[in-house]
Amino acid sequence: MNKILLLEDLPEIRAWLKALALQVFPQAHIFEAARVHDALALITAERFEVALVDLGLPDGSGVDVVAALREAQPEAQSVVVTIHDDDDHLFPALQAGAFGYLLKEQPREHFVEQLQRISQGEPPLSPAIARRVIAYFAKQNKPQERPQNLPHVSLTDRENEVLLWVAKGFTLPEIGVQLNLSRHTIADYVKQIYRKLNVSSRAEAALEAQRLGLFRR
Amino acid sequence: MHARRRLSAALSWLGPIALVGLLVWASLAARSAEPEPNVIELNSALTTGGAAEHFPADQASKLIALPDEWSNSRPREDGPVWYRLSFDAPVGSEPLLAAYIERVCSNAEVHLNGVIIYSGGRMTEPVTRNCYYPQLVTLPGGLLHAEGNTLDIKLQGYTLQKVSSRQRSGELSQVRIGPLAVLAEEHASKMFWSISLLQIITTATTMLGAFVLFLGWMNRQEAHLTYFGLLTLAWNALTARTWLQQMPFDNGTTELLVCVGFSMLAALVVQFLLSYGGLRSRVIEAILLTQCLLVPMTLVLAGPQRLFTVSNAWYLLMVLEVMVVTVLYLHAEWRAEGENFWPMAVMLSLLGVLILTERAMQYDWFPAPHLHLLNLSMPILLSVVGARQLKAFGLALQAAENARNSLESRVAEATAEMERNYVQMAELRVEQVTEKERKRIAGDLHDDLGAKLLTIVHTSESERISTLAREALEEMRLSVRGLTGKPLPVADALADWRAETVSRLGQAGIEVDWRSPTEDVSQQLSARAFVQTTRILREAVSNVIKHSGASHCKVRCTLGQQDFVLVVQDNGNGIPMELDGKLDRGHGMASMKHRAKQMQGQCLVESGPGYGTVIRLTLPLGTSLTL
């Protein structure tokens, strides 16, 4: 683990997060930014493996940084670290390509554990998120509501099944037991769902950009 | 089906046809009436011309048969003409005798044994028009002899050429002598059929015509109504010539005006049929107008000696015009497949037959019946056609009224719909504004209060303060959710609770047994109820993890008709009692109970050292849950 981008405007919290990151990844080199602008500049200059991104920043939203990082460095894993736990913040972040979503006030040990889990490729998925993902893809599958020229991204039956279990409140290990699959296989399904969510939303964004005449190429 | 309906419509028009038939029968019956035994009929007379005041006995006279039609007996002579009839008083007769002359045309004076006893009116221009009036002359007893009475009749009339119809040329019918009572009855009957009936019918159809004309006037686009009204009125005006005895003009002028009147009538008939069939044409209108001007011009040019020939030529042309237009009209109705065809076809055919009969009479191909058939039947036909138009008008009026009503109700519906939409939009707007405001407050809380609490959480040296700040932050988040949240399905709430509870207990190494209804949960949970219940459950789970030392935890959610019950039961140590017998405040029992009370529910805690803890939350459905 080499380079980590840390975007956080509050100095105390940034310091705390830095200490925490160093605890999980002792060898890492941490690049700190307090604004969206600085973070975007860093993305063009450095290649990151992990990015810890706050959402509410003085000059914009961390979602833009997540999207930019996804575009410029697809292998980098963005983890949103925020105080907002509502769907209005969470879902756009996931669509932009965030791989994890951590709440700031969690005790240090929880934080460490979740960060480790994410770095090992196991993204978080709550029932609320699962419900939104199901609704999102259900809408995508209705041709009359889907904008034209949009690549059709849909979930497989298994992915859908996993989402349905999650939406009912079952944890990933429980679902693994129910479907007679390993915990890692379930995690892979979830990762795949995240990827599709991101692909779909990016295609949508591109189409919207084209519609608005923002495409420069 | 279609043909049947048409046929039944045609059958319903049999009534008026039967009426016309009755008239024909009545006229025939009148003709074939047997003479009374006491009545003598004089069938011949000595006749001679001359304007003298008495029968010119010195002039040469000849014997002729009665009735004497001038068109046959003296085609080129005008009146006056004297007739001398001789008779003996009928034996065994009534005290009062009378002479009944069914027809004098145009007027007559009657002398008995050289004394003038009766005059029908003016004998000089304008001559009284008595052609349709039967004459009843009472014979004064003092002037009568038992035998060898002479009855002299001075008849003023016109040659056929000076009048426009054969009925108006000079004529004297047979003369009948008999008891006054008998002949008066016959006279009254004849008067009724020839004059009174006509006047009654004319009055009635004039009112009908005026009414239809008024309707046409009010509805200009229904031109046929106007034409029909005018046509009816014109016909009635022309009919008046049969019962108006005194005209302000001399015979020539009157006959010319009648002829012009017929040309206008023909034009109106043509226009009516064309507009009724939707076939109006500017060209035809111009031709008709020209014709109306040409008729008087040709009549004046031809002079009074050829009035009959010229006017009858015009009449023939007009009859042809009407027939052609009738065919055109019926063709249009046939193609339109409306209900008009059959009744109108019957009516117009009847009219055609009557007109042709009338024409034939004018050319003397056909003996004239004693009743003026055309005059009597035409008003009936007009009434029938007029009634038909009024019916159509009434139906149209009804349809318009219905259309107006339905339009009104549609407008009312649309208005209500608009009002509803407006209210909905206003509500939506209020909702949107409220939602926006909630989000702003939530954002502010997170950014200001949240950031400060967070700083305390992560910078405080004291674990206690850090925990307190974290709990405060958690509280704030729940409050914000209660502030911003919409109601969510109970199923979703159960899923969220299950995920969190199972995950937390699982991480703490405590075995979980969660049971909740998975299907058929349709109730909604208000954001506030969700938040409060989440806090209670979270507190209960925290207690299990932190204090119970349990290895197993059972969670039961049940939804009843009236309430919602959540039970959390562990197999741990139970909660130690304080000295005053209350449960440990540090375990947050008081706040759990307080929250339950806020939702009109209750939270019961049963615990004892050694047998674990049971927390039972009961909330009433329909109030706090679905707030």
The enclosing domain of B620 has a CATH number of 3.30.565.10
Q: Which of A171, A178, A183 to substitute to test the interface with B, most B CBs within 10 Å?
A: A171
Which is more confidently placed, A154 or B571? B571
**CB A175, CB A166: distance < 8 Å:** yes
Cα of A168 to nearest chain B Cα, Å: 5
| Residue type present at position B275 | S
Closest chain A residue to the Cα of B505, Cα to Cα:
A171
> Is A124 near chain B, with CB under 8 Å?
no
Say yes or no to pLDDT of A46 above 60: yes
**Is residue B586, in this structure, part of any structural domain at all?**
yes
What's the CA gap between A193 and A191, in Å, rounded? 5
DSSP state of B577: B
Asked if the Cβ–Cβ distance from B502 to A169 is below 8 Å, we say: yes
Q: Which of A12, A105, A171, A174 to substitute to test the interface with B, most B CBs within 10 Å?
A: A105
pLDDT of amino acid B493: 87
**Is residue B373, in this structure, part of any structural domain at all?**
no
Cα of B454 to nearest chain A Cα, Å: 6
Cα of A54 to nearest chain B Cα, Å: 12
Least confident segment among A134-143, A189-198, B139-148, B200-209: A134-143
Q: Which of A12, A83, A169 sits opposite B499 (nearest CB)?
A: A169
> Is A83 near chain B, with CB under 8 Å?
yes
Chain A residues touching residue B484 (CB < 8 angstroms): 86
How confident is chain B (627 residues) per 10-residue block, as mean pLDDT?
Answer: 53 62 63 66 88 84 87 82 88 77 90 90 88 91 86 90 85 90 90 88 90 88 89 91 86 88 92 88 91 91 86 92 92 84 87 86 75 78 85 88 94 93 92 84 82 86 83 78 73 86 86 83 80 86 84 89 86 68 62 84 81 87 53
DSSP state of B32: T
Average pLDDT, chain B: 84
Asked if the Cβ–Cβ distance from B495 to A127 is below 8 Å, we say: yes
**CB A118, CB A99: distance < 8 Å:** yes
Report the complex ipTM: 0.76
Instruction: At B155, list the tokens.
Output: 């008849």
Considering its fold, how many domains does chain B have in total? 2
B124: domain CATH number? 2.60.120.260
The Cα angle at residue B136 between residues B135 and B139, in degrees rounded to 5: 135
For B470-536, the DSSP string reads HHHHHHHHHHHHHHHPPPEEHHHHHHHHHHHHHHHHHHTT-EEEEE---S----EE-HHHHHHHHHH
**Is residue B513, in this structure, part of any structural domain at all?**
yes
B interface with A, Cβ–Cβ below 8 Å = 439, 442-443, 446-447, 450-451, 453-455, 457-459, 469-470, 473-474, 477, 480-481, 484, 492, 494-499, 502-503, 506, 518
Asked if the Cβ–Cβ distance from A83 to B454 is below 8 Å, we say: yes
What's the CA gap between B137 and B177, in Å, rounded? 9
What's the CA gap between B610 and B463, in Å, rounded? 30
Q: Which of B192, B210, B238 is the last residue of a domain?
A: B192
> Is A81 near chain B, with CB under 8 Å?
no
Asked if the Cβ–Cβ distance from A83 to B474 is below 8 Å, we say: no
User: Domains (ranges, CATH) in chain A?
Assistant: 3-119 (3.40.50.2300), 127-211 (1.10.10)
What is the residue whose two structure tokens read 């409306």? B338
What is the residue whose two structure tokens read 């932009």? A96
pLDDT of amino acid B29: 57
**Is residue B521, in this structure, part of any structural domain at all?**
yes
SS3 B152: strand
pLDDT of amino acid B580: 47
Chain A residues touching residue B499 (CB < 8 angstroms): 126-127, 166, 169-171
φ/ψ of residue B202, rounded to 5:
-60, -45
> Is A11 near chain B, with CB under 8 Å?
no
Chain A residues touching residue B489 (CB < 8 angstroms): none
**CB B596, CB B559: distance < 8 Å:** no
pLDDT of amino acid B327: 92
pLDDT tens string B180-210: 888 899 899 989 988 898 898 889 889 999 9
**CB A192, CB A122: distance < 8 Å:** no
Which is more confidently placed, A134 or B569? B569
Asked if the Cβ–Cβ distance from A127 to B447 is below 8 Å, we say: no
Q: Which of A205, A192, A191, A209 is nearest to A67 (CA)?
A: A205
pLDDT of amino acid B269: 92
pLDDT of amino acid A216: 46
Q: Which of B544, B476, B466 is nearest to B504 (CA)?
A: B544
Q: Which of B143, B174, B192 is the last residue of a domain?
A: B192
Closest chain A residue to the Cα of B475, Cα to Cα:
A105
Say yes or no to pLDDT of A185 above 70: yes
Residue A56 exposure: Cα atoms within 13 Å on the Cβ side: 18
Instruction: At A186, list the tokens.
Output: 């379930």
Which strand ranges, in their side-by-side order, compose the sheet holding B68-69?
Answer: B68-69, B171-172, B104-105
Say yes or no to pLDDT of A86 above 90: no
Chain A residues touching residue B443 (CB < 8 angstroms): 56
Chain B residues touching residue A128 (CB < 8 angstroms): 492, 496
**Is residue B590, in this structure, part of any structural domain at all?**
yes
Q: Which of B173, B192, B211 is the last residue of a domain?
A: B192
pLDDT of amino acid B485: 66
**Is residue B571, in this structure, part of any structural domain at all?**
yes
**Is residue B363, in this structure, part of any structural domain at all?**
no
For B161, the domain range is: 36-192
